[in-house]
Homo-oligomer: A and B are copies of this chain.
Amino acid sequence: MTDKIAITPATHTAPPAKFSHGVRKGNILQVAGQVGFRPASAGEEPVPAGPTLREQTLQTLANVRSVLEEGGATWEDVVMVRVYLTDPGSFEEFNRVYDEYFADLKGAPAARTTVYVGLPGDLLVEMDALAVLG
């Protein structure tokens, strides 16, 4: 029996419902949907890193990375990133920030699917990730 472990980075507030920011079971690590909230402490209301796509994208990527690292993984282990944007016109701007962020990636970049959906409040981007370890 392989243990299923909840991953809760110190930078993250408690999830707003009965889910985990990340889960690891065996060699599979799944990062839950992350948005551009700044690191926050318990009791604080989470606040986006800023109003722009660039600020929110960089913070979202940092939040995904916090979950990966807390679970013993890195971006090099990620096989899939799902990207949810609210504005179909933001694809090129998003890609510029994404490419800049991953400029130093050594191995194969993860696969990716990008779709345009609704998100709550002023959020412009959400991302989740699947990593295979070992």
Contact = CB atoms under 8 A, between A and B. Distances in A.
Interface of A: 1-2, 4-6, 15-28, 30-33, 76-77, 79-82, 84, 88, 91, 95, 98-99, 102-103, 105, 107-120, 126, 128, 130, 132, 134
15 contacts: A2-B134, A6-B109, A15-B109, A17-B95, A18-B103, A19-B81, A20-B111, A21-B111, A23-B110, A25-B132, A33-B114, A88-B119, A115-B117, A115-B118, A116-B119
Q: How many copies does the complex hold?
A: 3
A80 B30 contact: yes
A70 to B, nearest CB: 13
B111 A32 contact: yes
A38 B4 CA distance: 31
B26 A134 contact: yes
Contacts of A91: 16, 120
B19 A110 contact: yes
Given A23-B108, A132-B25, A4 B76 contact: yes
Given A23-B110, A26-B134, A118-B116, A79 B126 contact: no
Contacts of A111: 19-23, 30-32, 128
